[in-house]
Amino acid sequence: MKGHGSKFGRKKEAALAALLTQRNFEEAAREVGVSTKTLLRWQEEPEFQTAYREARRAAYTQAVARLQHGATAAATTLLKAMLDNNTPPSIRVRAAECVLNQTARAIEIEDVEARVAELERIAAEAKENDI
């Protein structure tokens, strides 16, 4: 079912996109023009599972990047809210906690990804030296 240099045919590629954008399997299947049963069967294929996981990861990475870009604006808003005596202190503290936690978490994820990549590079070099 491979075609034109891609891992999947157009329907499976469209199914991956639909699974990311539609609310449920039924809507995704309808979007692609296949039955729900077909879509569920595709989801049992290891190649499709891998591609779907990668697509979800890419979408999540883009969302995290958007949050990181908004961190400066959030910090500015937070500072303005903290100076506004009309904003209840509990809301100001909770907003600060949410923004800082999400930003720190995104940085931690990037750090872990970099560490894993470095370990993989070292392992590949060690393997090459053993050969």
Q: Which two tokens stand for residue 23?
A: 């609310």
Q: What is the pTM of this model?
A: 0.54
* pLDDT value at residue 68: 87
Domain region containing 89:
63-130
| Alpha helices for 22-88 (secondary structure H) | 25-32, 36-43, 46-83
With respect to residue 51, please indicate whether it lies within any of the assigned structural domains: no
Q: What is residue 45's DSSP assignment?
A: S
Q: Evaluate if residue 7 carries a pLDDT over 70.
A: no
Give yes or no: residues 84 and 40 share one domain.
no
Number of domains within the chain: 2
Q: Using CA atoms, how far apart are residues 116 and 7, in angstroms rounded to an integer?
A: 26
- Residue 19 host element (H or E): helix 10-21
Q: Using CA atoms, how far apart are residues 36 and 22, in angstroms rounded to an integer?
A: 13
Give yes or no: residues 86 and 125 share one domain.
yes
pLDDT one-digit tens code per residue, 43-77: 999 999 999 999 999 999 999 999 889 888 887 88
